[in-house]
Amino acid sequence: MIHVFDGADDLLPALADFVVAQAKEAIYLHGRFSLVLSGGSSPKKLYELLVTDKYRKQIEWSRVFFFFGDERYVPADHPDSNYLMAKKALFDPLDLSPGQIFRMKTELEPAAAAEDYEKDLLGYFSDKPVRFDLVLLGLGDDAHTASLFPHTAVLHEKESLVKEIYIDKVKMFRITLTAPCINQAANVAFLVYGASKAEAMHHIHEDAQNIVEYPAQLIRPQGGSLHWFVDQAATQKLTNK
Ligand code: 6PG
């Protein structure tokens, strides 16, 4: 489902309401809410909104468990760290207990960090399938999402839940949830705004399936819901909105 808004200023509150609704439902159904955070620049404002009085009061934050869709292979205190961005915008203002935050440990070797994170996921879900309540995703101008970049081997991963991948384009390793892992989620929500995303949105939604060129096409939750929270600028090249 594509939800189109004039701009980020009305898109973000709507997505924050969606997060609140999913949190309440998950906590009601199974006592806790597993939320996968997206990295990049677009979600920072959403995280900052969620800690404002209006939203802060609506969620039992002690029952929320935070995961990451991907991480840049930089130290946790590095300005490019997705963890650091979320820590400043969300974790610190909410004063969460450390057990609620599942960080990708970039102090380990890339493969070891991916393996370690997969163990964390299996540990959190124990005997149940790894099925996040809500996965938040961004979208790159090149139609990548999480760290599922065009023309990379991880796009064809069928078994692992988490993989390390060297991305030539950004000259660094990334640790990322795989598409099979994301597609096990109960809900997936893309957060996409700005004209620079319009070309990618057109290809993803209106071109034939070509996951190597447009990796975001891989995101098809099996038995879960898929939502696109987008603004007018990002949908300007869609022929049928
Ligand atoms: C990352 C992200 C990545 C991001 C897109 C969009 O670590 O960079 O997880 O997938 O969502 O690159 O980034 P922007 O929101 O900055 O445009």
Distance (Å) from CA 146 to ligand 1 centroid: 7
The topology under which CATH files domain 2-228 is Rossmann fold (3.40.50)
Give me the DSSP letters along 130-190: ---SEEEE---TTS-BTTB-TT-GGGG--S-SEEEEEEGGGTEEEEEE-HHHHTTSSEEEE
Q: Would you say the CB of residue 81 lies under 6 angstroms from ligand 1?
A: no
Band (241; pLDDT cuts 50, 70, 90): low
Say whether pLDDT at 112 is over 70: yes
Q: Would you say the CB of residue 215 lies under 6 angstroms from ligand 1?
A: no
Taking the whole predicted model, whether its pTM rises above 0.95 is answered as yes
Q: Would you say the CB of residue 42 lies under 6 angstroms from ligand 1?
A: yes
Question: For the segment 43-74, what is each residue's pLDDT rounded down to a tens digit?
Answer: 999 999 999 999 999 999 999 999 999 999 99
Q: Would you say the CB of residue 69 lies under 6 angstroms from ligand 1?
A: yes
CA dist., res. 72 & res. 64, Å (int): 23
Q: Would you say the CB of residue 140 lies under 6 angstroms from ligand 1?
A: yes
Distance (Å) from CA 135 to ligand 1 centroid: 14
What single-letter DSSP state applies at residue 38? Answer: P
The whole-chain average pLDDT of the chain stands at: 97
